[in-house]
Structure 1
Amino acid sequence: MRGTVWTAANQLGVVAGTPAELQSVLLSGAPRTLRLGRTGQDRAVVDELARILREFGHVRVVVEQVADSAPPPSRPVDLADPAAVCAADPLLITAAYEKDTAGHGGLRTAWLRAGQALIRDQDPAGRATALLAALPAAAAPQLRATLTELAAGSCWSVSWTRDRAGAEPRLPGPVAALTFAAGRLLIAERTGVVRYLDAEPRMAPASGRVTAMAAMDDGTVLLLDERGRLHTRGPGSPLTAAVTATLAAHPGTALAAAGDTVLVGDRHGSVHAFGPAGVDQVAPHSGRVTALAATGTLVWSGGADGAVWLWSPGGARQPAPLTERPCPVVALHAAHTPEGPAVAVAWADGLAALHRPGAKEVPTFRPGPAIRAVAVIPQSGQLALATDEMLVCLRPA
């Protein structure tokens, strides 16, 4: 069933791993048409997914007339052999791992974690990179070494990973936001617990589920909850108190900070820059502002419209978006690197991109699960991204 759900989710530009998750995503949007059925899929599973999705009447499901299954391989794929797994039909591998519950050194866990990315058409090196990023901490060392060799030639290499199970160092809870403070990666969990990477919690939970975080130069950490209210940890200031009071009456949808400026997005597509000299505003998006990033005097905003705009408070926005895709932006982060300001972007379909100054190409990565947060590592220009189960740092080639 997982392979069929992942294939359908990829077609629709969403992230889902179960029929219930796919159903939930579809119900939250406009009515869609979904075409199911492809060579290699079990026809009974396709029919069952079609039946489940049709129950709510919100999606038109068309089942294609295809063969019940692809021709079986001449001999079964060794599910403990990463090279064979990366080169085989991903739908067959997914079905095999669903039936075979042996761990295979951590390879099965990694496959089922990154599966939605793995069933896309790609070369074995790209598939090996996604598997390497998704490996559990307790994976066999030889498996990690072999996948690293197989990933040679990919546009990314994996610098380090953390997950929520297995050996230390461990990722404590689902990550809601990432940023940098005092030169270190700062992590906010959904509960509002804030910690540096591999350190004990340094701040108490917030009173609501956290959706965004920003750090100010004076050590103040700002947290935005799911109701659009602002929570302050640390010294605070008259400015942060004023922003907190403003958002109590007019909830925010996105948050960032740079220097002594606090930036807030709203559901109408506007970005508000609260600074010592007053409030500046720009309205770059059609619909909700979903993510903000800032460094120096530069501000990037992402929206439900899928666009990312660059703006400077007190100045005009750029004439064209930095990037735009047909699905909502879910996370942004910017930082100064040795080459200049770099920007990380993530979208609701599970794709992350790293925009670097002077680079001819923009490398992209799909971890498989939904991306909750991204960050640019200032010292190296690497990309950190978080899902519900893992945090991974990637180095662009």
Structure 2
Amino acid sequence: MTADSAPHWSRPAAGREPAAAALLSWLGDPRAPGLAVVTGAEGSGKSRLLAWLIGHGTRPGTVGERRIHGFVPLPGQTATTATWMLGQQLSIAARSPGDLLAALAADGRRTVIALPDLHGAEQPASLVELALDMAQLEHVRVLVEVRAGTEWEQALTAGLCARMDLDEPQWTDETRRASWEAAHPDVRAGLAERDPEPEEPFDLDDPVSVCAADPWSVTTAYERSEESHGGLRAAWLRSGASLTREQPAAERALVLLAALGDAGDPRLPALLDSAAQDASWTVVWHRVRGDVTPPWPGPARSLTAGTGPLAGQLVVTDHQGTVRVLDAENAGSTGRLPLPVPGARATAEHGDGTVSVLDEHGVLHTQSAAESAKPKGITALLDDGPSAREQLLTAVQQYTRRRQEAVTALTAVGDGVVLGDEAGTVHVVTVGAEPRTATVHRGRVTAVAATALPVSAEGDTVVLLYTGGADGTVRAWAPHTDPMPEPVAARDCAVTAVAVGTADAGLVLAIAWADGLVEHRALDDDRLSTFHPGSQAHALAFTAEGDLVVGTDEALVRMRVCPRTPR
């Protein structure tokens, strides 16, 4: 949209045209400091000026240099709650200010954030630190409103910034202010601060109470408290980025149950399960950071369901590249691969007890996780060459070495291996045939999933692939034909994981997005169920029974989609 066709901007109130022009100039000047501070005495009109800028800057069609991408009114907020609010607006799964800063640093797009009323925050000092850290990023602009004469104003303006004190006369057109006040005689009477609305009481020890209460108030109360509240405090703060979303109390209870550690009050799981009776999912089991019975397996960076000798088990790779094998029924440990793979990105299980792990450099590392059936007797004597699996993995290694683009995604299906690369191309490698390839994404392939779909009573199958990309799309492809022209799903954030399987509903697809959303799609009837674990899901897998296992840096959860009617 051009500047001529962009939405019209009204004049600011109370003769603040000079101040408004200066703020727009700051937004449009690439050489201006990353931090702007609007200050002044109480009642000077700071909030009204920022409300004018935010109201226009967040409208659809606003030109890029005037766009406000995120804003948080700070009265009563902490650095944590402000982070969660910004994460929801910016499509970032951020549990902490550090997560938010890391995500902003990794995304080079221009981002403008407004923080009104910092002096009224619950934790002004930590919010000053967050604002200053964000403003240090070259592509991020931060606009803060703070009352003059406070220590927070002094901290914000101690370094390089664009400072505007609305008590100074140059920021007001007195003629326009007199005209505006004459036309709005009742406005000044409404400028006095009003007492906040009284909050409904809630009990931090009662899961039903906190799930029904205002989630932002509950978060602030848990942050103030130094008690564990039976484990509820840790679970709430672990998943609060999800709990503060608008949702029924039953869905909030489900999220809180999935985040509850085993060191808490043993009565809580039953209470939360009862409160979640009308939710869209059932939690089959969950393992969170700190659990000991069975132990939490660590941050899940990739995940696959076992077949063959590994049937009924899950292969989980953590942030350090340690590959564990878990019982899918209860997440109890059944083994571990001897050699870790630092920088692991994806894991594939080949159906004969071998597991391949893709590292950050695009190199495959293959180890045995279970004993496979080996030829015996005369068969072993006659067949002393490499197995079919060994031939396949050799073909994959030779193929990847010939490619210029680094491999970024991996899965296995039947007698083939599926690779995705940084150029958006997917490759299906089998023994004795030319690899099939198709470019399906703009930019890096972030995830691939595959299934062998039965097409006849004789057992014939067709390979069906689903791929996710950094371009925010999920696409379907059967390698014997062309990819589907339209994406299966598309959103304004990257895909972090995909999984495909079969259930009572037929073919099911799971998608994890970079903003923390997990989708479960029944492809035969277009049913959609969603789950927000409270942090980014890096790994997904379907069990043989059709349950979905979701892996994050904080938890591993096995879930079952409920029917449309309440349980």
TM-score by length of 1: 0.92
The answer to whether residue 365 in structure 2 is matched with residue 231 in structure 1 is yes
CA contact (8 A) 2:116 2:144 kept: yes
**Structure 1 regions of 5+ residues with no counterpart?**
none
**Offset at residue 100 of structure 1 (A):** 0.7
Distance 1:300 1:74, change over 3 A: closer
Aligned length: 396
The one-character-per-residue Cα deviations of 1:290-328 (angstroms, maximum 9, x if unpaired) are 000001111111000111111111211123211111100
Q: Hey, what's the Cα distance between the residues in 2 that align with 1:2 and 1:115? A: 9
For structure 1, which segment, 326-335 or 357-366, has the greater mean C-alpha deviation from structure 2 after superposition?
A: 357-366
Amino acid at match of 2:442: S
Q: Hey, what's the Cα distance between the residues in 1 that align with 2:237 and 2:421? A: 36
| Pairing partner for 2:322 from 178, 183, 192 | 192
The answer to whether residue 99 in structure 2 is matched with residue 25 in structure 1 is no
For structure 1, which segment, 51-60 or 361-370, has the greater mean C-alpha deviation from structure 2 after superposition?
A: 51-60
The answer to whether residue 472 in structure 2 is matched with residue 393 in structure 1 is no
**Offset at residue 41 of structure 1 (A):** 5.4
| Equivalent in the alignment of 1:85 | 210
Q: Hey, what's the Cα distance between the residues in 2 that align with 1:249 and 1:110? A: 48
The answer to whether residue 256 in structure 2 is matched with residue 178 in structure 1 is no
The answer to whether residue 476 in structure 2 is matched with residue 310 in structure 1 is yes
Alignment RMSD (CA, Å): 2.5
Distance 1:168 1:43, change over 3 A: closer
Secondary structure at the aligned position of 1:171 is classed as: coil
The answer to whether residue 395 in structure 2 is matched with residue 242 in structure 1 is yes
Amino acid at match of 1:256: T
CA contact (8 A) 1:177 1:212 kept: yes
| Pairing partner for 1:209 from 330, 343, 351 | 343
Structure with the greater alpha carbon radius of gyration? 2
The one-character-per-residue Cα deviations of 1:352-396 (angstroms, maximum 9, x if unpaired) are 1111243442101000012110112231x2211011121011111
| Equivalent in the alignment of 2:73 | none
Amino acid at match of 1:267: E
Secondary structure at the aligned position of 1:278 is classed as: coil
| Pairing partner for 1:11 from 89, 100, 103 | 89
CA contact (8 A) 1:210 1:223 kept: yes
Aligned 1:57-206 pairs, distance under 5 A:
57-63=138-144, 71=196, 73=198, 76-182=201-307, 183-184=311-312, 185-190=314-319, 191-197=321-327, 198-206=332-340
The answer to whether residue 35 in structure 2 is matched with residue 35 in structure 1 is no
| Equivalent in the alignment of 2:442 | 286
For structure 1, which segment, 57-66 or 252-261, has the greater mean C-alpha deviation from structure 2 after superposition?
A: 57-66
For structure 1, which segment, 92-101 or 137-146, has the greater mean C-alpha deviation from structure 2 after superposition?
A: 137-146
Q: Hey, what's the Cα distance between the residues in 1 that align with 2:198 and 2:133? A: 31
Q: Hey, what's the Cα distance between the residues in 2 that align with 1:257 and 1:68? A: 62
Distance 1:70 1:106, change over 3 A: farther
Distance 1:207 1:186, change over 3 A: closer
Identity of aligned residues (%): 38
Amino acid at match of 1:209: G
Amino acid at match of 2:248: D
**Offset at residue 103 of structure 1 (A):** 1.0
CA contact (8 A) 1:230 1:244 kept: yes
The one-character-per-residue Cα deviations of 1:168-219 (angstroms, maximum 9, x if unpaired) are 1122322221111123222222323231331232412334221101111333
The answer to whether residue 514 in structure 2 is matched with residue 348 in structure 1 is yes
Secondary structure at the aligned position of 2:520 is classed as: strand
CA contact (8 A) 2:347 2:411 kept: yes
| Equivalent in the alignment of 1:265 | 420
Higher normalized helix content (fraction of residues): 2
CA contact (8 A) 1:255 1:265 kept: yes
The answer to whether residue 535 in structure 2 is matched with residue 366 in structure 1 is no
Distance 1:378 1:320, change over 3 A: farther
TM-score by length of 2: 0.66
